[in-house]
Amino acid sequence: MSAAARERLELPIEGMTCASCAHRIEKKLNRVDGVEASVNYATERAAVHYDPARVRPASLVALVEEIGYRARLPEPLREAPEEKARAQPDPTASLRQRLIVSAALSLPVLALSMIPALQFQYWQWLALQLATPVVVWAGWPFHRAAWLNLKQRTATMDTLISVGTLAAWAWSLVALFFLDAGHPGMRMDFDLVLGRSEGASHIYLEVAAVVTTFILAGRYFEARAKRRAGAALKALLELGAKEASVIDERGHEQDVPIGELQVGQRFVVRPGEKIATDGVVEEGRSALDRSLLTGESVPVEVEPGEEVVGATLNVGGRLVVRATKVGADTALAQIGRLVTEAQSGKAPVQRLADRISGVFVPVVIALALATLAFWLGAGAGASFAFASSVAVLIVACPCALGLATPTALLVGTGRGSQLGILIKGPEVLESTRRVDTVVLDKTGTVTTGKMTLADVVTAPGVEPAEALRLVGALENASEHPIGRAIAAAAGEGGRLPAPESFRTRDGLGVEGVVAGRAVVAGRPGLLAECGLELSAKLEQARRAAEEQGMTAICAGWNGEARAVFVVADGLKPTSAEAIRRLRELGLKPVLLTGDNEATARAVARAVGIDEVIAGVMPGEKAQVIRGLQEQDRVVAMIGDGVNDAPALAQADLGLAIGTGTDVAIEASDLTLVSGDLRAAADAIRLSRQTLKTIKGNLFWAFAYNVAALPLAVAGLLNPLLAGAAMAFSSVFVVGNSLRLQRFQSDRQAAPAAGR
């Protein structure tokens, strides 16, 4: 099935309690013909790509519910995000209630079991009455999940918890009713270490109650931490305005909900208000604070004709804006979609952890039974053997493994969205670690991309105004930034004639007929190809312009070279600093441009780049990247134009300037929402830090199990400590991931480019 034939669906999943649950749902969904699914335990969502001709979304929901979990189709957004969030129940409320009751009842059980001075005749029966609600009611979510898994002939982390706590409770019940609880022969040195009193050696009510409490506490703090991890994306999606002040046909203003705003409608944005949606300024001048989307604190000036993005804040004057995009088509919605898709993905290292989690539980159950049999056979006594096997069941928690990658990815991508950095997926992280070369497109990346006509030099007998009018009319049919700059300057002198014919010479220039004259404009090579030779005066002007880092466009008509147009493209004020920061990350910068060697070298010197590849045709950029890769270099490419898209896709890591084209953004791995090149260094640093956090999480998750299981098997780990350690491991991994929220951008306030 081709990728084009697929549709993407995100199913919210409820009822998952560990990574094994996610692995099981994912395995079940992927067995359906025409479905590829990835289930993320941290985000509690299933990202499903399916063939609509073979699979109905409702059948996927039914399949998830068939194995004991809850799923629902995503609902269309009909209300403000924060109102919808308030309407939904707090997922931690039930856990908190069970935890409070469990803790209140478990503490007396623990005190009675461990402190001889508090014990009285028949205290064990009071402990039983206190522990039973904890095990049965507070631990009900574990038992329910274990039962549903058993019906499906599978086992998850809940199975271990349920079996462990119920076994401890049932053992104690049997001991109280059928065994002599006061028999001194049943007490072992192991119990003395724990502080047990004589007469309660084989009663494990405190284990059943306190372990349930520990695990509930772990789940509660884990759930809270996961909500914090996703808070950045939630805040991003709630940035948009809730109402728009629309101007009707009579010129009256009327407030309408944002969901009713339509493309083409005009709306007013007053000082202090948010831009309701993406649009074009029609009236007024103001400054916009875009920091919530780009991470940049300096307001940007806008005037009639300029595009504005929804959710940015108007901090200056009154604006009238015409809506060009609404709803899911806006930049804010697209950013949210990119971040959500990135958080749903899985890195290869996470898939390994998921496979381990999938087989881990059955192995642990077998190991617990083997531990019980071994210690019974070794003559250690039933109490010791039972305690050791329960410790094995409880301490072996694959949850930390399942949380290691997705929580770090959740926090890292969320923090990136706050800084105007969009990470397309987890696979990108590994690329940022290996990159050693960064190739930068010149126009629009290192420079502002806002071309202006600086000078017109003409041959003797040719009026500059006439030359500008002819060439400007020809370039008016071109979409190239240089051509648009010449056309804009020519248009200031009045209406331009329409070309009678027009042809683009890719990478060279343009040619056509204007006012009955055959006009050609572009590189000197194009004029030479047409038999036009530059005079000494024009050649000198061309060289002088290129030595100053400007672009010279040569033009001729009626069989002679007639003029040189000098076009300037200023450097972004932050480019030199950005290059320095990229070097500090161990990257070698390379400037790639279609401009001539002299212009490219001048720009490179100004920003601190030594290696320059100039005179490259648009279609050759991907070949240049491939050539660098053949030199065993791992290449990152930064660009913004349509002609950069193949190179961005070819590079090991593609970074698109968000102010560029949609094609470039789609082809890239990282998108820098702002036009500030320093964000490239921030993006690579954040990606590397996220990858480092993932690897640290996985190390500690594996190390925990490697260290804890042998201790439990050897009988050196008390079930109470095992429960506490298990809960701590998951909370530790999530807490470690939350440290990424403190990631700080190196960007500082800088003047807005071109202002």
The tens digit of pLDDT for each residue in 28-59 reads 899 998 898 888 776 788 888 898 888 888 89
Alpha-carbon gap, residue 394 to 719, rounded angstroms: 7
Q: What angle do CA 315, 319, 324 make, to 5 degrees?
A: 110
Check whether 282 has a pLDDT greater than 70.
Answer: yes
Going by pLDDT thresholds of 50, 70 and 90, the confidence category of residue 346 is low
| Secondary element (H or E) of residue 481 | helix 481-491
pLDDT single digits (tens) 101-117: 999 999 999 888 888 88
- Check residue 193 and give its pLDDT: 35
- 158 pLDDT band, cuts 50/70/90, is confident
Catalytic residue, from 158, 289, 354, 441: name it.
441
Q: What is the pLDDT of residues 194-238, one digit of tens each?
A: 334 344 446 788 888 888 888 788 778 777 766 665 555 566 566
Topology (CATH level 3) of domain 243-273+278-324: 2.70.150
How high does pLDDT run on average in the chain? 80
Nearest one of 399, 421, 403 to 412, comparing CA atoms: 421
pLDDT digits (tens, 9 = 90+) for 581-596: 999 999 999 999 877 7
Q: Do domains 243-273+278-324 and 433-447+572-668 have the same CATH topology?
A: no
Domain ranges of the chain: 3-76, 93-231+341-410+692-741, 243-273+278-324, 433-447+572-668, 452-568
Amino acid at 277: T
Residue with tokens 């929901």: 61
Mean pLDDT throughout 315-325? 88
* Banded pLDDT at 191 (limits 50, 70, 90): very low
**Choice among 218-227, 449-458, 705-714 with the minimum mean pLDDT:** 218-227
Higher pLDDT, 35 or 340: 35
Average pLDDT over residues 675-696: 89
Integer Cα distance of 406 and 458 in angstroms:
63
The pLDDT score that the predictor gives to residue 635 is: 93
Question: Which residues, 6+ apart, have CB-to-CB distance to 210 below 8 Å?
Answer: 106, 109, 110, 720, 723
- Residue 594 has what pLDDT? 79
What average pLDDT does the segment 152-161 reach? Answer: 77
pLDDT for the residue numbered 53: 87
Look at residue 87 in the predicted model and tell me its pLDDT.
44
- Judge whether residue 602 has pLDDT over 90: no
Among the ranges given (196-200, 472-476, 685-689), the one the predictor scored with the smallest mean pLDDT: 196-200
For residue 362, the model assigns a pLDDT of 81
Task: Return the top range by mean pLDDT from 413-427, 503-517, 647-661.
Answer: 503-517
Give the pLDDT score at 182. Answer: 39
Q: Which residue has the higher pLDDT, 83 or 473?
A: 473
CB atoms within 10 A of CB 349: 16
Percent with pLDDT over 90 in the chain: 18
Is the predicted pLDDT of residue 631 greater than 90, yes or no? yes
Closest CA to 504 of 488, 520, 518, 491: 520
Q: For residue 75, what pLDDT is reported?
A: 62
Alpha-carbon distance 449 to 384, whole Å? 75
**Structure confidence at residue 521 (pLDDT):** 93
Contacts of 480 (CB under 8 A, 6+ apart): 510
- Cα–Cα distances (Å) from 148 to 94, 159, 360, in that order, read 20, 10, 18
pLDDT at 256 over 80: yes
pLDDT tens for 606-620 read 899 999 998 887 678
Q: Which CATH architecture has domain 3-76?
A: 2-Layer Sandwich (3.30)
In this prediction, residue 641 has a pLDDT band, given cuts at 50, 70 and 90, of low
For the cut 70, the answer to whether the pLDDT of residue 415 exceeds it is yes
| 396-407 residue pLDDT tens | 766 677 677 778
Taking the C-alpha atoms of residue 124 and residue 702, their distance in angstroms, rounded to an integer, is: 38
Q: Which two tokens stand for residue 82?
A: 């924060």
User: Is the distance from CB of 276 to CB of 320 less than 8 angstroms?
Assistant: no
34, 21 Cβ separation under 8 angstroms: no
For this structure, is 441 an active site residue? yes
β strands within 234-305, DSSP E: 243-247, 253-257, 266-269, 279-283, 286-289, 300-302
| CATH of segment(s) 452-568 | 3.40.1110.10
Confidence of residue 659 (pLDDT cuts 50, 70, 90): low
**What pLDDT is stored for residue 622 in this prediction?**
86
Per CATH, is 433-447+572-668 categorized as 3.30.2350.10?
no
